Amino acid sequence: MSEVLLADIGGTNARFALAAPQLDAPLRADSVQVFAVADFPSLADAARHYLDRVGAAPGEAVFAVAGRVDGDEARITNHPWVISATRTGQALGLQRLRLVNDFAAQAMAVSLLQPEDVVAIGGAPWRGGDGDGDRTYAVIGAGTGLGVGGLIRRDGRYYPLQTEGGHVSFAPGTPEEIEILQRLSGEFGRVSNERLVSGSGLVNLHRALSQIAGEDPGPLQPADITAMAREGDARCLRAIDVFCAVYGAAAGDLVLTLGAWDGVFLPGGLVPRLMPWLQHSGFRQRFEHKGRFSPAMARIPTLAVTHPQPGLLGAAALARHTPS
In three-state secondary structure terms, 6 is strand
| DSSP code string of 188-217 | HSS-BGGGTSSHHHHHHHHHHHHHHTT---
Strand partners, 158: 153
E-strand ranges in the chain read 4-9, 13-19, 33-36, 60-65, 69-70, 73-75, 82-84, 96-101, 118-120, 135-142, 146-154, 157-162, 264-266, 302-305
**Residue 147, marked binder:** no
**How many C-beta neighbours within 10 Å does residue 73 have?**
15
Residue 241 has φ and ψ, to the nearest 5°, of -60, -45
**Residue 259, marked binder:** no
**Residue 70, marked binder:** no
**Residue 91, marked binder:** no
**Residue 8, marked binder:** yes
Closest CA to 205 of 158, 274, 148: 274
**Residue 149, marked binder:** no
Binding-site residue numbers are: 7-12
Binding-site residue numbers for ATP are: 7-12
